[in-house]
Amino acid sequence: MRPAVALLALFTAIASPALAQDPSGSQPKDRSAPRTVPSTIELGYIVPINSEVLDPVGLARFQVSLESLLHATLDNSIKGSSALVKAAFFTGVLFFDRTVAKVGHEYGHVAIFNRAGYSHFFLSAGSHDPEPLTFHEVFINSVVPVRHLAVEIPLDDLLDAESRFTGRDFEEFMAATFAGGLNQEQIHLNMYRERVLRHQFGFFDTAPYLIETLSTPLYTGANSSDIGRYVEHLETAGFSTSVPAIKAISMVRLLSGSAISAGIGFYHTMMGDSFDGYAPRVIAKTADWTVLWPEFESFMSRRGPTVRASLPVRTAGTLFIPGLETSFAEGHSEFEFGVEASRPVAPWLDVRGNLFLGTEQGFWAEAGVALKPAPWVSILLSYHAADGYTFRRDIYGETFDIEHQAERGLQAGLSFLFQF
């Protein structure tokens, strides 16, 4: 129980109201007032149309779907309960959400192998012999928090990878496969960042937010672990880093505005039964502009661990998120500028787009729409084009730039939003 107690203690510490000002003003709120933010169930999934790759965003949407069904139901059920009762429910949700996060972690490895065209996998659980990977086996084995799981490809596929990706390319490929699980946890975390920005975040959403924020710092640093093997292959590829450095860099996530919002909301709900404290943190506001607290992400890229700092800005009905990402490897650093934008243009249509430009002369551009035949259902369509290496393609792409210089992709999906 010590790790769970440590997590709750740390989250309570960052939840201190002294760390941020509620955007509604400095006047104290009536914490027994009726809930003003509805509970939100978000069910969704997206798939690539022109490839059979497991999409990391589609996987993260599936994870949120499982979690939000439980979170939204319990949000209303515990209103008026004591802090002890809320803590008991929260501990149970932590257990369930950790299982979902672990499932996503393992399928994050699958997604990387998919990019190279491999579709047959084995799952090793603890000291047991590898068995064919199925969702049932992954989920059941993920229920035990301390059980070590590993995703493997058949020996013939591994030998094929060695012949296709030679020298430095093979080392980078292997580094990406070991990084895939923890990178998926950051992508999953980003889904909850978006829920904060849309003001759809609830009390129990703090459980996966906490789990994924601390996923890398609390991950084992043994030489045989994902991080240890990632460091080993990066070193061979010529990018020097270390397990302690990766863990320290990932702690930057705790400085995100969404982390502060989640912490303050958690504190108010536990101590005062107020369920409307998860609003985005505002640092500057005029009649035309609203500048929110910065967001920080951390990935394990093929160029070393990275940090992306971004600044959400709302103006003229549009949310802009410009940002800069940099890698941290001894003697080698890459930078990447990116901007994301989204806005509703009609009751039945939302649009979004992004552009990322890296110092290796690569780019990633994406445009998407959400068609809404009803307020609670969205048809999701997006198209992206990429060329060369970028951090964005490294994490979200469908192919490897070391094998395909250019990439084009079309995705489609559905999203259902229920609020009550």
Sheet of 131-132: strands edge to edge? 131-132, 122-125, 149-152
3-class SS of residue 18? helix
pLDDT number for residue 57 = 97
Whether residue 27 is contained in a domain is answered as no
Closest CA to 208 of 222, 230, 229, 188: 188
Which runs of consecutive H residues, i.e. helices, occur in 125-278?
Answer: 135-142, 155-164, 168-197, 206-213, 226-237, 243-250, 257-272
pLDDT tens digit sequence for 193-251: 999 999 899 999 999 999 999 999 999 888 889 999 999 999 999 999 999 999 999 99
Question: pLDDT for 163-175, tens place per residue?
Answer: 999 899 999 999 9
Q: Is residue 18 part of a domain?
A: no
The residue segments making up the domain with residue 110 are 43-419
Whether 2 is in a domain gets the answer no
CB-based contacts of 254-258 (< 8 A; 24+ apart in sequence): 254/14, 254/213, 255/294, 255/296, 256/193, 256/293, 256/294, 256/295, 256/296, 257/20, 257/196, 257/281, 257/292, 257/293, 257/294, 257/295, 257/312, 258/192, 258/193, 258/196, 258/197, 258/201, 258/209, 258/295
Quick one: pLDDT at residue 34?
A: 45
How far is residue 312's CA from residue 23's CA, in Å, rounded to a whole number?
14
Cα 189–chain centre separation = 3
Output the pTM of the full model.
0.90
Please tell me the total count of domains within the chain. 1
67 vs 212, 265, 299, CA distance in Å? 13, 18, 23
3-state DSSP assignment of residue 3:
helix
Tokens standing for residue 92: 């149970």
Q: Which amino acid is it at 362?
A: G
| Helix-strand-coil split of the chain, %, nearest 5 | 40, 30, 30
The one-character DSSP state at 322 is E
Residue 293 lies in a domain: yes
Q: What is the reported pLDDT for 145?
A: 73
162 inside domain: yes
Q: How many CB atoms lie within 10 A of CB 1?
A: 6
Does 25 map to a domain? no
Q: Phi/psi at 33 (nearest 5 deg)? A: -65, 155
The answer to whether residue 236 is domain-embedded is yes
Q: Let me know if residue 145 belongs to a domain.
A: yes
Measured CA to CA, the distance from residue 120 to residue 52 in angstroms comes to: 13
Q: Which residue has the tokens 């601390």?
A: 214
Q: How far apart are CA 247 and CA 232, in angstroms?
A: 15
pLDDT at 19: 41
What tens-digit pLDDT sequence spans the chain (420 residues)? 444 444 444 444 444 433 444 443 333 333 344 445 678 899 999 999 999 999 999 999 999 999 999 998 898 788 888 999 999 999 999 999 999 999 999 999 999 999 999 999 999 987 888 999 999 999 999 998 777 899 999 999 999 999 999 899 999 999 999 999 999 999 999 999 999 999 899 999 999 999 999 999 999 888 889 999 999 999 999 999 999 999 999 999 999 999 999 999 999 888 887 766 788 999 999 999 999 999 999 999 999 999 999 999 999 999 999 999 999 998 788 999 999 999 999 999 999 999 999 999 999 999 999 999 999 999 999 999 999 999 999 999 999 999 999 999 999 999 999 988
In Å, how far are 89, 190, 204 from 95, measured between CA atoms?
10, 20, 12
Q: What is the pLDDT of residue 60?
A: 98
